[in-house]
Amino acid sequence: MDILRTPDSRFDKLKDYEFAANYLEVDAGDGTKLRMHYVDEGEGEVILCLHGQPSWSYLYRKMIPLLAQAGYRVVAPDLVGFGKSDKPTQRSDYTYANHVAWMKGFIESLGLADITLVCQDWGSLIGLRVVAENEARFSRVVLANGGLPDGTGIPEDMSATLHQLLCNTPALPAEDMFMKLFAPMEDRPQFMYWVRHCDEHPDFHPAEVLKGSLNHCDEQAYRAWSAPFPSQEYMAGARQFPSLVPIIPDNPAIPANRAAWKALEKFDKPFITAFSDSDPVTKGGEKRFIKTVPGARGQAHTIIKGAGHFLQDDAALELSTVVIDFICNNKG
């Protein structure tokens, strides 16, 4: 496995990100070791914060101090391919199964237990799989603008049609792609425009995606979102993620995700959803969890107003308050 490592100088003096850098190694799956970076602040019960695509632990920079000051140990890793973590150069190295295995290895290496998981976007696709397969390590789950797609509701015989539709979806520039995401669905799921933009458009860049998604993104924040990716060769993981989302019934990840749902249907530990009101990607996605997961019953599920997909940045105080209150109300 060929691996790139972003130069440390790219991360010098990032605004509001003065946390000590921590590293550990996980097995890549082919005998190679991958270095993962993580923030580890505070003391107490563990809150594990998982980011998604195309962000990194910088997404939690506003929440980490609030949670640590409230008396918790906050662990926020950079997924492989993002932030300060190693970046395999081949998109084929970034499989859904590999990401789940890498996160399991990360948690086991640190010996984390009694975990409250906070997950969003791909952090939830990975994190919820890990919870389902390692329930004993987790005490609670906070799901924020995320999900665990498993093809439910899509007929199996639609696979060929959906593949063709995806192939025929144009790879639009970022501005046009965002317009499609926020527009009413026409002849195809809006998410296909996101997949194709990340997959094929030559000007894809994580910082541009974040700039177009966040309520506020000044020059210093833009520099931070750009930091992990000096050039296109560092972006294989960021480009690959949307193509891995199991939105078509013949996706190889669907059996494992359906097995995870079976586990979640028996998960009676506290489980809360905190979605935002302005996210076109996950809007309404909380309903299945609230209805299906036993631990979600009776919890104070919330819709945070005025926040988009990356609500850790748009509404850090509000989401932190949800997390702290949720833990306090579900002790023991």
Beta-carbon contacts of 284 under 8 Å, excluding residues fewer than 6 positions away, are none
Q: Which residue shows structure tokens 């935002």? A: 276
Q: Which of 93, 301, 309, 314 is catalytic?
A: 309
Phi, psi of 274 (to 5 degrees): -140, 90
Contacts of 125 (CB under 8 A, 6+ apart): 52, 96, 146, 147, 148, 149, 245
279, 301, 313, 314: the catalytic one is 279
β-sheet bridge partners, residue 27: 33
Residue 205 appears among annotated catalytic residues: no
Using CA atoms in the order 85, 7, 223, 221, what is the torsion angle rounded to 10 degrees?
A: 40
d(CA 180, CA 186): 9
Catalytic site includes residue 121: yes
Rg (CA), the chain: 19
Of the listed 78, 86, 121, 313, which one is catalytic? 121
The answer to whether the bond into 206 is cis (omega within 30° of 0) is no
268 catalytic, yes or no?
no
* DSSP letter assigned to residue 182: H
Catalytically active residues are: 121, 279, 309
